[in-house]
Amino acid sequence: MKTLSEIDTTSKRATRAAGFSWGIAEEVGKNMRLLELFGLSGIKNLNKYLKDYKQKQLEKITLIHEINESKKNPFCPIILGTNFIDQVNLMDKKRNIRIYNVAFPVLFLPFVSRASEVVGKRIFFKLDDKEFLFNLNQSIYSNYLKNEILENCESISIDFIENNNSFTEVEWKEIYKLSENTFVEENESLKIGAAGAGLTDND
């Protein structure tokens, strides 16, 4: 089994050899490490993407809006991803972002996972009928775990989830009240011990 370090390094070098800058190649290396760590088909999709990259003439999006649509060639997932993570601090105020016609969308996923950590919010991501929940780049929950190549998707939907407690204020007060049973009640002997704890007078 290949190590995550081998996956990172080889992916980075292959991306550079395909004509991308070292900066973007570094990002792709990190992304392949993430995808394989989470059990998604990173290397399989990257390998096919790099083979097809020059022939497909993919669209390179720069500024990401709430609605993004390429009517001719599909969007390049790597250029889309690098711009998404660069602009995410401006985009998390938008209610919903939609992107239509993206090539090899699995390669876009890790950028969104990392963006979740950047903004400190979970992100709900829908790729056609496949759903993903990115949790601050710590985990990915999904109904899609197939080890296959996805060459294209019709639509992507991205929603930023506001940070809210999963419990009510009443539940918090109840558990806090219970936690108070561990507090040590201060008495005179504790006060004396604390005042000169561990000290002796040798004069």
> Which residue has 């390049």 as its token pair?
76
* 8 A C-beta contact, residue 103 and residue 58: yes
Burial grade of 159 (CB within 10 A; 0-12, 13-18, 19 or more) = middle
Structure confidence by residue, pLDDT tens digits, 113-162: 999 999 999 999 999 999 999 999 998 888 887 889 999 999 999 999 98
Average pLDDT of every residue of the chain? 89
Say what the pTM is: 0.83
pLDDT (mean) for 1-7: 94
157 or 163: which leads in pLDDT = 157
Torsion of CA 163, 169, 173, 179, to 10 degrees: -20
pLDDT of residue 144: 83
Residue bearing the bigger pLDDT, 102 or 1: 102
| Phi and psi torsions of 47, nearest 5° | -60, -45
Q: pLDDT confidence of 167, banded at 50, 70, 90?
A: very high
105 burial type by CB count under 10 A (0-12 exposed, 13-18 middle, 19+ buried): buried
What percentage of the chain has pLDDT greater than the value 90? 70
Q: How much of the chain exceeds pLDDT 70, in percent? A: 90
Question: Given a cut of 70, is residue 203 above it in pLDDT?
Answer: no
pLDDT value of position 53: 87
User: Which pLDDT tens digit goes with each residue over 27-77?
Assistant: 999 999 999 999 899 999 999 999 998 888 899 999 999 999 988 899 999
The span from the CA of 203 to the CA of 191, in Å, is 24
Return phi, psi of residue 59, to 5°: -75, 140
Do residues 134 and 116 make contact, with C-beta atoms less than 8 angstroms apart?
yes
Q: pLDDT band for 8, please (50, 70, 90 cuts).
A: very high
pLDDT band at 170 (very low <50, low <70, confident <90, very high): very high
* pLDDT, position 190: 53
Q: Name the residue type at position 95.
A: R
